[in-house]
Amino acid sequence: MAGPTGRGDSLGAALNDLLRAQVTPRHRLSTYNAKHWHAQLSQLTGTRRGYQALESAGLDVQPDTLFKWLSDPEYNVRRSYRDLIHTAYENVAIVPAEPLTDTIKKGQFEISGWVTTGSDRRLRGTRKASPLRIDGRRGHWSEIEALWLAGDLRDDDFEDRFIDDIIVADIGEGTDGWAFSGDSYAVELR
């Protein structure tokens, strides 16, 4: 039975595609796109989570002051208060990434596409050659997960970290390192 599969034009893109299908990445809520402090404040005061974000950002004003601000978009609010409103708005707008699951960190990865080590270059995952199988349990996931949680796991970074921290940890450095220089990859998680 086939497991979840990620596809991309590089190994890193296929790995990122696979992760995004398994755990929620860090992202911005599409409904939080207001630029003006008044629109941001109006949106924040519409939810309990928004009020909590205002409080966490350090905005402590009396209810009648808040009412004045909301009733007049041209009200002269101090810059420090506008900055706190913006901080609260950004904190609510960004949804944190889910941590990588054990299913991922302890999974078996089957990589299909061009795989090179030294002078040996093979198209893996075909009838003539099985996919490159990697055991994720032997890998070191901490740097990959830190980049994922920060929302900074770009395709090329993921590919480099996966080679160094997962592939090499599982099966070694290879003849002369590992290279994935094809333009189409699939990574299946089992």
Q: Which pLDDT tens digit goes with each residue over 132-190?
A: 999 999 999 999 999 999 999 999 999 999 999 999 999 998 778 999 999 999 999 99
b/e code 94-121 from CB counts within 10 Å (16+ = b): eeebeebeeebbebebbbbbbbbbeeee
**Torsion angle, CA of 114/108/18/143, rounded to 10 degrees?**
-90
Residue 189 in contact with residue 22, Cβ under 8 Å? yes
Residue that has been written with the tokens 């409904």 in this structure: 31
| pLDDT score for 1 | 58
Q: Is the dihedral of CA 12, 15, 21, 25 positive or negative?
A: negative
Mean pLDDT of 14-39: 95
> Mind listing the pLDDT tens digit for each residue in 29-88?
999 999 999 999 999 999 999 999 999 999 988 889 999 999 998 888 999 999 999 999
Structure tokens at 174: 């290879």
Pairing of strands 27-28, 5-8: unpaired
The model's pLDDT over 92-137, given as tens digits with 9 standing for 90+, comes to 999 999 999 999 999 999 999 999 998 899 999 999 999 999 999 9
